[in-house]
Structure 1
Amino acid sequence: MRTTWLILLIMVLAGGAMYYIATRPKVAAPYDTIALHDTPDSIRSKLRVFAAYDPTDITYRDSAWFQQDSIPLKEIALDTIAVSFDKNYKSVTFYLDYDHAWFYDVEVNKPGQDVSYQISFAVNRLNDSMRVSGIINDPLHDQLRLSGPMMKMYSSFILSYSRKLPPVTDSTQKSTAPDSMEPGKPATPPSRVITVLKK
């Protein structure tokens, strides 16, 4: 009799496990990964990475990064060689912060939320400044290589993305068309503007 009850209990447990596995939500694709490579340990130990999702402007003050409404940016912990993080976004901007002295921002746009990217950065010293190189790899499509100097940080500043700001509707403003601009001014406005609040 005990054997019958034991077999029945095992069948019930097996059926419950099969039902759980069958009804569990399926992940559309692996999580994104972000990694540092070819970066000296002395630099790696002072490097932090933050993420903001489709920001219009970002504020830095008191050694911290904030989005609109003073919401702190999400930090991606770099305590492993490659970190996995949520891939359910279409647009994200990463901020590499070296010792609160230099920063680099890079925007990543995806064709859809179910696409996973492999992102890697290398940070190295170049004379009196810092330089970043990296690869944003979409395993199913293509990869984007990037390289550039890090920007000097101030005690407090605002980083605004011009193309995401609403257009000027003031009729007293001068036209920004190239033929009406003053000599020596660029034909297109900068993609981002840094407003220094405190040096």
Structure 2
Amino acid sequence: MWRVGKKISAAGLSNSNLVLLMQDLGLAQFVYKDNQRCSSSRSPFIGATDNWINECNKTLLHPLPSLYSQPVTCRISSSCATVQCCVDVPEISSSFNTKLEIDPCTFQMVVSIDQLRFSKFLFEYDWGQEEEVWLFGVVRMTFRVFDMYTDGYFIMNLKLEVCLEAMEVPNCNKSFIVLDNYYLPKKECRWDAPFSLPGKTIYVSL
């Protein structure tokens, strides 16, 4: 509908129209611009296999699910704690960077879509509870994490969605299952290092 109102018939959007769209949606201050936007042809996503970059320093129990032919390229960090994805949206000639980090060493969960960022302590997360983060009704991350306390794994569920029309919400027509009950190795922690909470420092030793 926005394109119709602006009388735009060409595929994609020019840079000036993209800027205008982000302003109209109230996203301008939260999205990356120009060469800051993620791309499957740039680091850290370049050279992906089946649209995955696996830098995890541990052996995965199962092969990563193929994202081939999907407009999504993802990466697992070397610590195995972060799943980062670049979602390409050719209809508006843009892309969005998403990140889900579960860090058992700092006891923190960090979720971000471009420059919109949320964090919470794992003490505050109800393991197995499905949660979602919206970038103002346009990009949605839905995730659920289970802690396999004694096995050294998190079970990860992650879905990414893009809604290009307000009438689609909450059922976006662009939906991508990134991980489905996937066993992701936990990051290894140095328990002889101090751990800080606001206002206090806790020293943990075994």
Which structure has more helix as a fraction of its residues? 1
TM-score (ref. length: structure 1): 0.27
Q: TM-score w.r.t. structure 2 length?
A: 0.26
